[in-house]
């Protein structure tokens, strides 16, 4: 599959997730077979005003051969200005978020709120496309609550010049509950000629095959990758060894290259809890990790846990 002039190999993508898809986690996902991993979404307005925390979300890893940024906003001029700014100069693809359901986003008319304002959404996309020679893609939802307008919205994105679209087939009202509507994804795929990326409920090989059956050109994995960057290798039918401890260490080491220790300690807590999900007798360890303020001590605790785990398995 191609997005503009960018060619994918595996047609597998890690979805942008706020507070999750940091530079370390993205690097791991790519090592396991994702073609690219999208940065956490960033506010175009915040970049315009040179917000340092927002800029830090755009740090990329050495193995990100295809770099993808996702921006959000509701002002076409500001969005276009940021697309051609220095902040996005290193990125190969620019994705526009028109699907985020978070109240603080939609109250400003951004994210999935744009599905209620198709004319404005068209202007944003077309202005961004005019501002760059790079592929511009759009991620959106099934619709705003009961108004399921994904098919019409997809056609609008194509008309506005988008090089590809991603549909998360849940409504804004659903947030992440219920199930993604795979039949709607199929309808969207049949309605446009540009590549369609399917998103929603892909957590294993079974759900992956169901998504592929819709006819999508590529598959985006979101929450199914939490604590499991190896899911991309699993979907590619590759043998995956249990390298959980190494993954955690690598994740920590990458973050330490770019961020202050105090940030890495707090940020990694939730990731480590996800990494440990499903491991027996890990409850006490999780409790201790949440309280521990020294990351080196956390690593020691993890090493002891996995060493004891391996000894039990050998017995």
Instruction: Provide the percentage of residues in the chain whose pLDDT is more than 90.
Output: 93
**Tally of structural domains, the chain:** 2
Are 98 and 199 members of one domain?
Answer: yes
Q: Which domain covers residue 271, as residue numbers?
A: 244-314
Q: Given this model, what pLDDT does residue 311 score?
A: 73
Cβ 79 vs Cβ 69: under 8 Å: no
Domain boundary among 235, 265, 297: 235
Are 130 and 172 members of one domain?
Answer: yes
Burial of 31 per CB tally in 10 Å (0-12, 13-18, 19+): middle
Are 255 and 227 members of one domain?
Answer: no
Are 275 and 135 members of one domain?
Answer: no
Write out the DSSP string of 34-93: -SEEBPPPEEHHHHHTT-HHHHHTT---TT-SS-EEEEE-S-HHHHHHHHTSGGGTT-SE
Are 231 and 248 members of one domain?
Answer: no
Are 206 and 283 members of one domain?
Answer: no
Indicate if 100 belongs to the active site: yes
Are 268 and 174 members of one domain?
Answer: no
Whole-prediction pTM value?
0.95
Q: Given this model, what pLDDT does residue 146 score?
A: 83
Are 144 and 17 members of one domain?
Answer: yes
Are 36 and 59 members of one domain?
Answer: yes
Domain boundary among 207, 235, 263: 235
Q: Report the DSSP beta bridge partners of residue 143.
A: 148, 171
Burial of 62 per CB tally in 10 Å (0-12, 13-18, 19+): exposed
Torsion, Cα 263 199 243 284, to 10 degrees, reads 60
Are 147 and 106 members of one domain?
Answer: yes
Q: H/E element holding 169?
A: strand 164-171
**Average pLDDT estimate for 209-214:** 98
pLDDT at 2 over 80: yes
CATH for 104? 3.20.20.70
Domain boundary among 235, 254, 276: 235
Catalytic residue among 39, 100, 128, 157: 100
Collapsed DSSP state (helix, strand, coil) of residue 198: strand
List pLDDT tens digits, range 268-283: 999 999 999 999 989 9
Are 253 and 209 members of one domain?
Answer: no
List pLDDT tens digits, range 168-180: 999 999 988 889 9
List pLDDT tens digits, range 23-38: 999 999 999 999 999 9
List pLDDT tens digits, range 56-104: 999 999 999 999 999 999 999 999 999 999 999 999 999 999 999 999 9
Q: Cα(152)–Cα(149) distance, rounded to whole angstroms?
A: 5
Are 80 and 161 members of one domain?
Answer: yes
């Amino acid at each position: 599959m191609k997005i503009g002039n960018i060619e994918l190999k595996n047609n597998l993508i890690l979805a942008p997730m706020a507070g999750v898809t940091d530079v370390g986690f993205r690097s791991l996902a790519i090592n396991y077979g994702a073609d690219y991993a999208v940065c956490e979404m960033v506010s175009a307005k915040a970049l315009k005003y040179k917000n340092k925390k927002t800029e830090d979300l755009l740090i990329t890893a050495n193995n990100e051969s295809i770099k993808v940024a996702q921006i959000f906003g509701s002002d076409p001029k500001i969005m276009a200005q940021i697309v051609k700014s220095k902040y996005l100069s290193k990125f190969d693809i620019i994705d526009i978020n028109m699907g985020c359901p978070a109240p603080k986003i939609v109250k400003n008319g951004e994210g999935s709120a744009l599905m209620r304002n198709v004319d404005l959404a068209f202007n944003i996309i077309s202005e961004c496309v005019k501002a760059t020679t790079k592929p511009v893609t759009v991620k959106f939802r099934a619709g705003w609550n009961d108004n399921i307008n994904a098919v019409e919205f997809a056609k609008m994105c194509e008309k506005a010049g988008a090089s590809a679209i991603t549909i998360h087939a849940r409504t804004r009202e659903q947030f992440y509950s219920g199930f993604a509507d795979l039949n709607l994804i199929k309808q969207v795929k049949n309605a446009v000629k540009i590549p369609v990326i399917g998103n929603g409920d892909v957590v294993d090989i079974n759900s992956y095959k169901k998504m592929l059956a819709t006819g999508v050109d590529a598959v985006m994995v979101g929450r199914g990758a939490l604590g499991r960057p190896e899911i991309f290798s699993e979907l590619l039918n590759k043998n995956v060894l249990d390298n959980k401890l190494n993954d955690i260490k690598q994740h920590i080491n990458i973050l330490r290259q770019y961020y202050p220790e105090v940030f890495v300690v707090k940020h990694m807590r939730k990731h480590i809890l996800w990494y440990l999900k499903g491991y027996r007798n890990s409850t006490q360890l999780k409790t201790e990790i949440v309280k521990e303020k020294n990351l080196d001590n956390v690593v020691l605790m993890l090493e002891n846990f996995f060493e004891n785990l391996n000894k039990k398995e050998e017995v």
